[in-house]
Amino acid sequence: MRRESMQFRPLHDRVVVKRVAEEEKTKGGIIIPDTAKEKPMEGEIVAVGPGARDEKGVLVALDVKVGDRILFGKWSGTEVKLDGQDLLIMKESDIMGILEVTKSAKKAA
């Protein structure tokens, strides 16, 4: 039996986000059980819509793109399950910001 995979394309200014798993341990080495962990508010964009239209009908592209790592509000988005993956669909306005990885300088010994 062949299983079909599904492609999902969000509309307007919506994005599809995959939550990024948080650390299982604290800095002190304490393991956090699943029941005590909160859902992460960090994710990676997996799909974006074409953008929203302004009052003149001109398409305004989104500021985020596929692959961006983002922070979003605790109650943002709608949880969905596509092809066995737990994902969130949210409007771009629910995104608080894009996380940019910077290389930190090595500490002098």
Average confidence score pLDDT of the chain:
80
* pLDDT at 36 > cutoff 50: no
Read off the pLDDT of residues 65-109 as tens digits, 9 standing for 90 and up: 999 999 998 888 899 998 888 899 999 999 999 988 777 655 555
pLDDT-derived band at 7, boundaries 50, 70, 90: confident
Residue 91 has a pLDDT of 93
Read off the pLDDT of residues 39-62 as tens digits, 9 standing for 90 and up: 668 899 999 999 998 899 899 999
Which one has a higher pLDDT value, 24 or 88? 88
pLDDT-derived band at 29, boundaries 50, 70, 90: low
The C-alpha atoms of residue 100 and residue 39 are separated, in whole angstroms, by 21
Angle at 68 between CA 67 and CA 69, to 5 degrees: 115
Q: Which residues contact 82 (CB under 8 A, 6 or more apart)?
A: 6, 8
Residue 46 has a pLDDT of 93
In the chain, DSSP finds a helix count (H) and a strand count (E) of: 0, 8
Residue indicated by tokens 């090595």: 106
Q: Which residues contact 92 (CB under 8 A, 6 or more apart)?
A: 13, 14, 15, 52, 62, 63, 64
